[in-house]
Amino acid sequence: MKPLTFTDENFDTEVLKADKPVLIDFWAVWCGPCRMIAPIVEELANEYEGKVKIGKLDVDENQGVSIKYGVRSIPTLLIFKDGKVKDTVIGAVPKSHLVQRLKAVL
């Protein structure tokens, strides 16, 4: 399963009203570290299918959400649960670090 695509338009429905935790990878095409973490996000989308909604949000195309949540450097990964930010990870981190953070919200 590929990561979902989150946008300013679908954010409320897909993230804030989600019935399970949501991991969002804030990224941009020109961002080198974003490309480094992309395969990890894809692996997690497969491994956590049905348990966690995992997707990406392009900060250049969706500035509203990025500004609202204070995303200043990318990649930034936010974990939401019950419509609230539960965790923030900034930078390209090892997969084990993200797995640990996801387990904390499940």
Tokens coding 98: 């993200």
Task: Tell me which of 23, 31, 40, 74 is the catalytic residue.
Answer: 31
CATH of the domain at 58: 3.40.30.10
Q: Pick the catalytic residue from 22, 23, 34, 98.
A: 34
Annotation marks residue 56 as catalytic: no
Q: pLDDT band for 1, please (50, 70, 90 cuts).
A: confident
What would the pLDDT profile of 60-99 be if each residue is shown by its tens digit?
999 999 999 999 999 999 999 999 999 999 999 999 999 9
**Residue 79: domain span:** 4-100
Give the number of domains in the chain: 1
34 is catalytic: yes
For residue 12, tell me if it sits in a domain: yes
DSSP code for 32: H
Asked if residue 74 is part of any domain, the answer here is yes
pTM above 0.85, yes or no: yes
Contacts with 73 (C-beta within 8 Å, 6 or more apart), sequence order: 90, 91
Residue 25 counted as domain residue: yes
